Amino acid sequence: MRTVIVGVAHWHAQMYADALSQIGSPVLGTSDLDAGAGKAAAEKLKLPFDTDAGAMLDRIKPELVFVLPRHDRAMDELKPVLDRRLPFLIDRKSTRLNSSH
């Protein structure tokens, strides 16, 4: 399965990357709104990093996107995924996607 991680600076990224690798589905790309933290996290995980999530999604054409947002930037991380109508899993414990709820 073609998988990517949007929000790779999230502390759960390693857990997801390790689990995917163990089942034979390595992460093909990563991005993060915080370019510095995202690049550092991707380098630590030995994964490719892109500052532009949309460009990465268009290039890789993933079958599943793991979205790991900071709670205050969830919609910003999720928007490129939703715009492309891609299947995703969001790690959103205590994340409010809609402030009206």
* Amino acid identity at 32: D
The candidate with the shortest Cα–Cα distance to 8, out of 51, 63, 72, 64, is: 51
64-78 confidence digits (pLDDT tens): 999 999 888 899 999
Is residue 25 within 8 A of residue 1, CB to CB? The reply is yes
CA of 90: how far to CAs of 5, 16, 43, in Å?
10, 11, 22
21-43 confidence digits (pLDDT tens): 999 999 999 999 999 999 999 99
